[in-house]
Structure 1
Amino acid sequence: MRNSADLVNEMLKEARGAVVVAIAVGFADDTRFIFSSQRQPLSELNKLISRGGSPIGLLRFDREGTEIQGSYRPFEEYAGEEWVQGYLAGLLDHAQEILQLSRETQNIPAAY
């Protein structure tokens, strides 16, 4: 597995031109997301990994006219796994919830 900084850099590169891109981090019974819109995605990803999460792949959301379309791509470490395509495609069934979560988790700097 590549280091978390490489995965975040891959996400940020993928985010160019997108509404938002998320790293899907899998746990035994849950999935969490690190969004390209977060102020410190590397530190957030490291927290999830330290809690036992595995970064599986990227979800990308693009605006097409008046709609948002989602796509996915597994990280190279999981590209050959049979289950990963279904897992990531299943996450896109919840695109609206994921997009809402991306808006809620933007790290707003505190006023000084």
Structure 2
Amino acid sequence: MADLMQDEARMQVVMGLIMHGGNAKSQAFQAIQLAKSGDFEGAQAAIDEADKSLKEAHDVQTDMLTQEAQGNHTEVDLYMVHAQDHLMNGITFRDLAVEIIALYRKLAEN
């Protein structure tokens, strides 16, 4: 029974990372589209939402790291690797979106 509860808790962590990382990526993509159409306020709002999603994912990771530091080892399997991949893609996409928005803004000013 304890193993089942641990598996369920681990899958909640995995799904949290996938969900929040995916949300951040989608929000960053939306920000690019808004900037492309000249809506820089909307683009910034979408980046702000991406940042909130990334904070949520970071909170999930922090909880996981705290558990690890307390001696509660987290099994690293393909699910966890996949979740971390989603999170890193969200972070990278958000960072690139900020740069692309700045380019669109510069083009609009000229």
Specify if TM > 0.5: no
- Structure with more strand by fraction: 1
Is the radius of gyration larger for structure 1 or structure 2? 2
Shorter-chain-normalised TM-score: which range?
A: under 0.3
* Higher RCO, Cα 8 Å, sep 6+: 2
- Structure with more helix by fraction: 2
- Taking structure 2 as the reference length, what is the TM-score of the superposition? 0.26
- Taking structure 1 as the reference length, what is the TM-score of the superposition? 0.25
